[in-house]
């Protein structure tokens, strides 16, 4: 015959598990959220449903005669903390994919699974359960370590989530959007703290022996607050996608992304970085434009710039600005990964290939084919906002930019479509790029000579 408290435990566990499964289904089908966020919501609440159901079953007495199954909740429940941590990180930055290294936190769920399988495979599970109930695990060293690790992981993951939320909020010179995301992300963590306090901490302190039966039902605030946070993230994502489309017409795409996720301050100033500068220019464009009407000049130039911009974006570059028919592209800003020189040269190759395709359409309209020169240089630049508090532009400034411009100016004289400096060549790590010496040359405005190389075209 079941005791009333056992019936209550089973009912609370099953009700909570059903609610969590329903929440997982809602999370998986919510519109406007990223696939990664939807998957994290689904996984988090499937795990919490397992925890709720198995804790209810365990306290109901249904498995009292099966000591092998006494650790049934631990099989999956140990992953709840890591999934909550990943969900918190995603709620704080719902626009880009999580760094894959964050998923290593899922390993924290292994000790709980180890406890479960240790009990299932044990020759004398009853002795192990009795030892755990007495708090005397000295003869079971490995299970004891796994048991303690499992008990600590949810607390550590929740505390780690609180820390990154506080840090995100404190970094909120980025704006109210980051503060809002931090507040929403704290909701499910606060719910988890409540459940952990009642079901884990109170019994451990001897202040609530039966309090753990209420743990499953006390996870429902976490469920509701998490779904609200995810819904808000979806709405914000949709609104910011619209903002991104508008802002990207006037600012580099990478800077727009940094503004949206709160990592770029809209204030004057900048940072010193090493970047690769690519400058391209249409040869004799003034003479060509004299043969066209103003409408044809603008239409043709827009088509050309659109084509080349897509190539720059494809290689992870940033279009700093258009200067007439010239393009100033930057690789390695706002964040570098050491591949900026390689990507810039691969971009230069693709720009020439794209020009051939463009000329096919351009000449079909009765126009003379276009030719371009590309200069590439690598070095320190100051990247940031320049102008006034009322009107500013994000740009890169420094001698590196000037050098790239002067290298480009020599392409016509040397008969090489792409010229680069030795600083670029020393940073390239792809053997498929064939570089040939182009001699030492004195750049305009310089007293010393600069060693240049040309980029051989594929095929």
pLDDT in tens, 253-297: 655 666 555 554 555 566 788 889 999 999 988 888 888 888 888
pTM: 0.59
Strand-pairing partners, residue 377, are 277
The pLDDT of residue 352 is 93
Question: Tokens 């390993």 label which residue?
Answer: 107
Alpha helix ranges (H) inside 33-109: 35-60, 74-77, 80-92
Give residues with Cβ within 8 angstroms of 116, minimum separation 6.
Answer: 71, 72, 74, 75
Q: In the structure, how many helices (H) and strands (E) does the chain have?
A: 17, 8
Query: If you average pLDDT over residues 365-387, what whole number do you get?
Result: 86
Q: State the Cα–Cα distance between residues 362 and 71, nearest whole angstrom.
A: 72
The torsion of the CA quartet 396, 399, 400, 404, rounded to 10 degrees, works out to 100
253: enclosing H helix or E strand:
helix 253-260
Strand-pairing partners, residue 419, are 375, 454
For residues 325 and 285, the answer to whether their CB atoms sit within 8 Å is yes
Q: State the Cα–Cα distance between residues 323 and 326, nearest whole angstrom.
A: 5
Give SS3 for 157: helix
Query: Is the pLDDT at 391 greater than 70, yes or no?
Result: no
Angular region, 323: left φ>0, alpha ψ -120 to 50, beta rest: beta
Query: Is the pLDDT at 13 greater than 70, yes or no?
Result: yes
Closest listed residue to residue 91, CA positions, set 16, 182, 23 = 182
Q: State the Cα–Cα distance between residues 374 and 346, nearest whole angstrom.
A: 12
**What Rg value do the Cα atoms of the chain yield, rounded?**
31
Query: Is the pLDDT at 211 greater than 70, yes or no?
Result: no
For residues 192 and 52, the answer to whether their CB atoms sit within 8 Å is no
The sign of the dihedral angle between the CA atoms of 63, 64, 68, 69 is positive
pLDDT tier at 365, thresholds 50, 70, 90 = confident
For residues 246 and 103, the answer to whether their CB atoms sit within 8 Å is no
pLDDT tier at 347, thresholds 50, 70, 90 = very high
For residues 404 and 278, the answer to whether their CB atoms sit within 8 Å is yes
Closest listed residue to residue 385, CA positions, set 275, 268, 246, 244 = 268
**Average pLDDT value over all residues in the chain:** 81
Give residue-wise pLDDT tens across range 40-56. Answer: 888 899 998 998 888 88
Q: State the Cα–Cα distance between residues 148 and 145, nearest whole angstrom.
A: 5
Query: If you average pLDDT over residues 324-344, what whole number do you get?
Result: 85
Query: If you average pLDDT over residues 154-160, what whole number do you get?
Result: 86
The sign of the dihedral angle between the CA atoms of 260, 261, 264, 267 is positive
Give residue-wise pLDDT tens across range 408-439. Answer: 999 888 888 999 999 998 888 767 688 888 88
């Amino acid at each position: 015959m079941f005791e009333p408290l056992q019936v209550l435990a089973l009912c609370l566990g099953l009700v909570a598990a059903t609610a969590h499964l329903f929440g997982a289904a809602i999370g998986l089908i919510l519109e406007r959220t990223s696939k990664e966020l939807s998957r994290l919501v689904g996984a988090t609440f499937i795990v919490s449903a397992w925890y709720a159901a198995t804790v209810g079953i365990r306290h109901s007495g249904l498995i009292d005669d099966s000591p092998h199954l006494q650790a049934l909740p631990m099989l999956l429940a140990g992953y709840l903390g890591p999934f909550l941590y990943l969900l918190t990180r995603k709620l704080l930055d719902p626009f880009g994919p999580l760094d894959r290294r964050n998923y290593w936190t899922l390993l924290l769920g292994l000790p709980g699974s180890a406890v479960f399988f240790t009990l299932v495979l044990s020759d004398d599970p009853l002795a192990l359960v009795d030892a755990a109930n007495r708090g005397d695990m000295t003869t079971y060293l490995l299970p004891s370590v796994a048991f303690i690790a499992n008990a600590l992981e949810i607390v550590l993951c929740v505390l780690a989530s609180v820390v990154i939320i506080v840090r995100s909020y404190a970094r909120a010179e980025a704006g109210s959007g980051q503060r809002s995301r931090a507040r929403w992300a704290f909701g499910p963590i606060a719910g988890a703290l409540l459940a952990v306090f009642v079901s884990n901490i109170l019994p451990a302190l001897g202040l609530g022996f039966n309090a753990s039966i209420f743990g499953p039902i006390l996870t429902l605030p976490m469920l509701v607050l998490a779904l609200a946070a995810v819904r808000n993230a979806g709405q914000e994502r949709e609104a910011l996608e619209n903002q991104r489309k508008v802002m990207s017409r006037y600012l580099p795409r990478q800077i727009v992304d940094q503004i949206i996720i709160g990592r770029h301050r809209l204030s004057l100033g900048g940072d010193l970085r090493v970047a690769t500068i690519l400058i391209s220019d249409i040869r004799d464009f003034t003479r060509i434009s004299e043969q066209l009407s103003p409408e044809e000049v603008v239409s043709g130039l827009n088509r050309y710039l659109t084509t080349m911009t897509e190539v720059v974006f494809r290689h992870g570059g940033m279009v700093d600005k258009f200067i007439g028919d010239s393009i100033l592209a930057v690789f390695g800003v706002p964040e570098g990964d050491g591949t900026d020189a390689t990507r810039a040269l691969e971009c230069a190759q693709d720009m020439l290939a794209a020009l051939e395709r463009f000329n096919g359409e351009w000449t079909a309209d009765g126009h003379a084919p276009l030719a371009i020169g590309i200069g590439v240089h690598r070095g320190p630049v100051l990247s940031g906002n320049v102008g006034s508090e009322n009107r500013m532009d994000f740009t890169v400034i420094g001698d590196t930019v000037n050098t790239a411009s002067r290298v480009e100016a020599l392409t016509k004289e040397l008969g090489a479509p792409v010229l680069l400096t030795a600083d670029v060549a020393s940073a390239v790590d792809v053997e498929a790029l064939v570089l040939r010496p182009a001699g030492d040359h004195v750049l305009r405005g310089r007293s010393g000579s600069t060693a240049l190389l040309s980029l051989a075209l594929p095929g």
